[in-house]
Amino acid sequence: AQSVSQHNHHVILSEAASLELGCNYSYGGTVNLFWYVQYPGQHLQLLLKYFSGDPLVKGIKGFEAEFIKSKFSFNLRKPSVQWSDTAEYFCAVIPYNNNDMRFGAGTRLTVKP
Amino acid sequence: DGGITQSPKYLFRKEGQNVTLSCEQNLNHDAMYWYRQDPGQGLRLIYYSQIVNDFQKGDIAEGYSVSREKKESFPLTVTSAQKNPTAFYLCASSIDREGWKGYTFGSGTRLTVV
Contact: B94, A6; criterion CB under 8 Å: no
Question: Which pLDDT value is given to residue A2?
Answer: 67
Q: Distance (Å, rounded) from C-alpha B105 to C-alpha A45?
A: 8
- Tally: H helices and E strands in chain A: 0, 12
Residue A6: closest C-alpha in chain B: B42
Q: Distance (Å, rounded) from C-alpha B24 to C-alpha B6?
A: 7
Q: How many CB pairs under 8 A join A and B?
A: 49
Question: Which pLDDT value is given to residue B97?
Answer: 62
Mean pLDDT over B57-81 rounds to: 96
Contact: B90, A32; criterion CB under 8 Å: no
Q: Distance (Å, rounded) from C-alpha A70 to C-alpha B16?
A: 49
B60: contact with A, CB 8 A cutoff = no
Question: Which pLDDT value is given to residue B101?
Answer: 65
Segments in chain A below pLDDT 50: none
User: Which one of A4, A94, A104 has the shortest CB-CB distance to B101?
Assistant: A94
Average pLDDT, chain B: 91
Question: Which pLDDT value is given to residue B40?
Answer: 80
Question: Which pLDDT value is given to residue A97?
Answer: 72
pLDDT, one tens digit per residue, over B44-65 is: 999 999 999 999 999 999 999 9
A51: contact with B, CB 8 A cutoff = yes
Q: Which residues of B touch A102 (CB under 8 A)?
A: 45
The model's confidence at residue B1, banded by pLDDT at 50, 70 and 90, is: low
Q: Distance (Å, rounded) from C-alpha B44 to C-alpha A33?
A: 16
Query: Which of A3-7, A94-98, B89-93, B105-109 has the lowest average pLDDT?
Result: A94-98
Using alpha carbons only, give the angle B53, B30, A31 rounded to the nearest 5 degrees. Answer: 115
Question: Which pLDDT value is given to residue B98?
Answer: 58
Contact: A103, B92; criterion CB under 8 Å: no
The residue ranking higher by pLDDT, A51 or B1, is: A51
pLDDT, one tens digit per residue, over A21-45 is: 999 999 888 889 999 999 988 888 8
Question: Which pLDDT value is given to residue B24?
Answer: 97
Q: Which residues of B touch A92 (CB under 8 A)?
A: 43
B20: β partners: B77
Q: Which residues of B touch A34 (CB under 8 A)?
A: 103
